[in-house]
Structures are given as structure tokens and as C-alpha cells.
Amino acid sequence: MPHMSGGELAKELDGARPETRVLFVSGYAGQTVLDHRVVDVDYNFLQKPFTLTQLANKVRAMLDYSPNSSPARLAETIKRC
């Protein structure tokens, strides 16, 4: 089986199961991650190091968020992280 990057896996998942939420975790700066064009730094990215509380808040925010939500709802959800 060929190796797959996290971004490639996320794209495969999105095609097969678009309802699946993906959280990217990296020690790289947000801009570096953005350059790979698979991550919304405000929504599904958590930069290392992080606390367990930050992880729990990010996961909760991702579970609460719906693509049908208003931009204000997304901003409110992200703010909690």
C-alpha cells in the first residue's frame, strides 16, 4: 500500500464520507499548514503544543459545527477553542 499524507487522506475521506470531520495537529506554523491547502486553520487545525483542555474544546467545536451553520456560529464555536 502506498504511503498517504494526512492531506491526501482527508481528501479521500471527504470524497467517500463527506460528513467525517478531520482535525489536523501539527508543530508547524499555521501558514505552513495553509500552504498545503487541506486545512482551515481556524476550523480544523490545532497547533502543538496544546493542552488537553484545548484538544477537548477543539473536538467539541468540530462536533458542534455544521456546514449549514451561519458564519457567526462558526466564529463563536472557534472562539471557544
Question: In one letter, which amino acid is 50?
Answer: F
| Residue pointed to by grid coordinates 501539527 | 26
Bridge partners of 50, per DSSP, are none
| pLDDT, tens digit (0-9, with 9 covering 90-100), for 60-73 | 888 887 766 665 66
| pLDDT, tens digit (0-9, with 9 covering 90-100), for 47-60 | 889 999 999 988 98
- Residue 24's alpha-carbon distances to 1, 52, 55, in angstroms, are 22, 15, 11
pLDDT at 81 over 70: no
